[in-house]
Each structure stands twice: as C-alpha cells, then as structure tokens.
Amino acid sequence: MLPDPSALRTDGAVAHVGVPDAPRAPAFPPGARRKAPSAARRVAALALCAVAFAGAIAAAWSWLRHRDATPPQPSLAALPAGSDAAPAACAAPAAPSAPAAEGAGDAAMDDATATAPDPVDAGAASAAADAAVTADFAACAMPLFPSKSVDAATAGQLSFLCTEVDPMKGVAALKGQLVSAAGADGVSDATKEWAVLGWYDMATLATLRARCCHAPPPLELPRAPEGCLPLDKALNDLGAAVASASAPDDRAVAKASRRYTRAAQCVVRVGAATWYGRKNKPNGGEASAFKKVLARALRRAAQDR
C-alpha cells in the first residue's frame, strides 16, 4: 500500500510513514488468570472422584457376588483311576447349643456315678474261681486216702492231676507230695498204701481223676506192644466206669478193673514192662490195695448221689 500524501511533511522532510500496530490480545479482567486454573483443577478432581467411586462400586459388587459362592468341587472324572476317594462335602456350621443350666453338669456326673456299676477285677475273680475249684477237689480227694492221712491243704495241692495226661508222671508227682506232707520221716498211711500199689498206682490215679476232676483230658501212655490192649485205653475205660458208678459193687467198675489187670499182665508177658517203669507182673497184694481205694471211692460216690 502507498503512503498517504497528506502524511508528507510540508517542510520537505520526509515524514515517517506510520505503520499500524499489530492487534493485541484483549486484556483479561483482573483475577481472570487465577480463575481458569482453579476450574481445571476442579474438573480433574471431579474426574478422579468419579473413577474412585466407580472402582469402589465394582469392588463391592465383586465381593457381594463371590461372598456366598460355593468353592468348586473336584470332578469325579479328575480322580485317578481306581481311586475310591470322593470329594468331601462342605460341612454346615454347627448351630450354637443352648447354654447348660448351672449345676446341670454336676447333676449328670452324680447320676452317672450313682448308676455306674463297680469295676470288676478280672484277676481277683479268676483267683477266686480257681480257689473254689481247688477247694472242691480237696473235699472230694481226701476220703480216697486211708485214715484221713491227707488234709485239705495237701489234697488241694494235688489238683494239678486234673490236667496231667501222663499217668507215670502224675503218680511220681503225687507220691512226692505225700512224702512232703508226711513230715520229717516222710511216712504216713497214705505213703504206705501208695508204696504197695505197684501196677495199680496208675489205676488209682485214674480213679482219683474220674471222681474229683471236671472233664479231665484222657490219659496217654507209650504205644502198647503188639497183641496187648493199650494200657492208656484200659485206664480211661476204668475212669469212665468210676465216674458213672453209683454203688460200691458196681459191675462196670469191676469189669474195667479186670481188663486193666489183663492188659498189664500182657505187657509183662511180652517183655515190655520196662516201657512203663515196671519189672514184675501184678500181684495179689497190689490188687488188694487197689480194691480198698475203689471201695472208698465208690462209697463216696454212693453218698454223693
């Protein structure tokens, strides 16, 4: 654009052409620069509050949704092959029990104490039963010995014969008990009688067991020589006859006694007496001593029936 001619000076000097100033930004009123940043901060704060509130709502919703959720149960298909294990069920919480009334526990304990039976001592009961069995055996065995030569204490010590199945061992042990009970000299009517019984001491033992023992086991001896009746069978038959006898002259007892005598004579005849600790055959004195024992045993049996 050309300068205005009127702007030229008349004195011939060239006047400076005035160039219009660039437009300026409108001036803000006082305090306007402070208000704009404050508004921005408010907007940012509101945005942050909105984000925080939304996060809190999301967290609360997640908690409410999973609070009562049941934990997933393992699938049966996931168990190893052959396993019998099953997923454990969640146990429901036990309902709170009502508080016990004051003194109820003490009352229940008193009732239990009052009604509970006294404990039984098995050892004492067994000892009492054994003592009763021994006393019964002693009362039965004493009359089988001569002239009351055996007291209750000594007879009770012979109760082991009820379980001894070897008649030779039983006779040896019985004689030892009688000698001990006889005193310093070891002699009594009982020891004298048993010293002369000979072959019939085992028969006397069988009689004693049959009369005074409850279901004693059968007697056992080494095998009999060929052609002879086994001695243990003859002894057991004699015991069975004595156990069932009811009179002193019982024929079954007499028959069983004769069978035992023939079995012993057969053993001696074939030379097998030493198998049973013997040398000679049965004699009359031995048989007479045994008949006395039988008479006492059968007389007692008749009285008991």
Look at residue 86 in the predicted model and tell me its pLDDT.
Answer: 43
Look at residue 122 in the predicted model and tell me its pLDDT.
Answer: 67
Here the tokens at position 12 are 């011939």
Look at residue 257 in the predicted model and tell me its pLDDT.
Answer: 96
What is the percent of the chain with per-residue pLDDT over 70, rounded to a whole number?
A: 64
Look at residue 35 in the predicted model and tell me its pLDDT.
Answer: 47
Q: Which of 126-130, 133-137, 144-148, 273-277 is predicted least confidently?
A: 126-130
pLDDT in tens, 176-233: 999 999 988 889 999 999 999 999 999 999 999 999 999 999 999 988 899 999 999 9
Look at residue 241 in the predicted model and tell me its pLDDT.
Answer: 96
Mean pLDDT of the chain: 77
DSSP-derived secondary structure letter, 288: H
Contact between 257 and 172 under an 8 Å Cβ cutoff? The reply is no
What b/e string do you get for 114-151 counting C-beta neighbours within 10 Å, with b at 16 or more? eeeeeeeeeeeeeeeeeeeebeebbebbbbbbbeebbe
Residues near 193 by Cβ (< 8 Å), separated by ≥ 6?
A: 145, 146, 289, 292, 293
Look at residue 213 in the predicted model and tell me its pLDDT.
Answer: 96
pLDDT in tens, 23-67: 454 454 554 444 445 666 776 777 776 767 777 777 766 666 666
**Whether the predicted pLDDT of 235 surpasses 80:** yes
> Using CA atoms, how far apart are residues 287 and 177, in angstroms rounded to an integer?
23
CA distances from 29 to 23, 33, 39, 41, 82 (A): 18, 8, 17, 21, 89
Look at residue 247 in the predicted model and tell me its pLDDT.
Answer: 85
Look at residue 12 in the predicted model and tell me its pLDDT.
Answer: 44
Which has the closest alpha carbon to 282: 302, 299, 263? 263
> Using CA atoms, how far apart are residues 91 and 89, in angstroms rounded to an integer?
6
pLDDT in tens, 60-92: 666 666 665 545 454 444 444 444 444 444 344
> Using CA atoms, how far apart are residues 137 and 257, in angstroms rounded to an integer?
24
Average pLDDT over residues 111-131: 66
Look at residue 159 in the predicted model and tell me its pLDDT.
Answer: 95
